[in-house]
Amino acid sequence: MEMADEHAAAIEQERQRISRELHDSVVQQIAFALYKLEFIQRLIEQQQFQAISQDIQQVATILEQSLQELRASINALRPPQIEQSSIQAAIASQLSQYSADHTGLVIHQHLPAIERIPEHLQAPIFRLLQEALSNIHQHAQASEIWITIDIQNHVLLTTIRDNGIGFLMPEQETGGQGPEAHSQRHLGLHTMRERVQEVGGSWQLHSQPGSGTIITASFPLPDGDTTA
């Protein structure tokens, strides 16, 4: 029995390692390469190099497909924190550890629907929170975070808000930042949005310099779902 437990633990550790390495290296590298190719394509189109532009578009399509496949593989790996306990315990542990690692940061929680998250949304929501907290730590300089998980009109809503420095939305940015800086700053947000959309959710992002950032992910639930 002890040997079986050790084997199961080793498998879980390996799954976690693969998931982490794929996300932290391969996925982000491909996403950045895709952004660079799209930028180069726009420059070439301005010079009317149509043949080269078509070749680059083909490469971009292949990279995008590879990115989707990699993310699908990562999402298929259910986080061991959920496997070993429950979504409630996993999120509680996640937030507790984040608070312990970031002294002085206050996390406000309003999670009335946490026990009613459908199984197929548990891993995506857990990873959404994980990515959002990481993004806040790296970029926001926030002192407070508000996290809400609720159900309204058969829609599961997950909201993460911070009081950090905020930023200009991509469509508002003009000059001062090259494409590489722009891509690196928003890559985490791009990853979160795609995670949500891959499971049928919708995504809203609002931010202004000096006003913090609000992320809202909405997941429609079946009309007959008793959890709603």
Which segment of 8-22, 73-87, 107-121, 176-190 scores lowest on mean pLDDT? 176-190
Q: How confident is the model at residue 174 (pLDDT cuts 50, 70, 90)?
A: low
Q: How confident is the model at residue 9 (pLDDT cuts 50, 70, 90)?
A: low
Q: How confident is the model at residue 181 (pLDDT cuts 50, 70, 90)?
A: very low
Give Cα 213 to chain centroid, integer Å.
15
| CB-neighbour burial class of residue 164 (10 A; exposed 0-12, middle 13-18, buried 19+) | buried
- pLDDT over 90 for what percent of the chain? 37
Mean pLDDT confidence for 107-126? 93
Mean pLDDT confidence for 23-42? 75
Residues 6+ apart with CB under 8 A from 18: 77
Mean pLDDT confidence for 170-189? 56
β-pair type (106-110, 155-162): unpaired
The pTM of the full predicted model, rounded to 2 decimals, is 0.66
Enumerate the H helices of the chain as residue ranges.
Answer: 2-21, 28-46, 50-76, 80-84, 87-101, 119-135, 179-198
What does the block give as tokens for 69? 């496949």
Fold entry, domain 86-220 = Heat Shock Protein 90 (3.30.565)
Q: What is the amino acid identity at position 171? A: E
- Give the pLDDT confidence of 72-91 residue by residue, as tens digits: 666 666 777 787 788 999 99
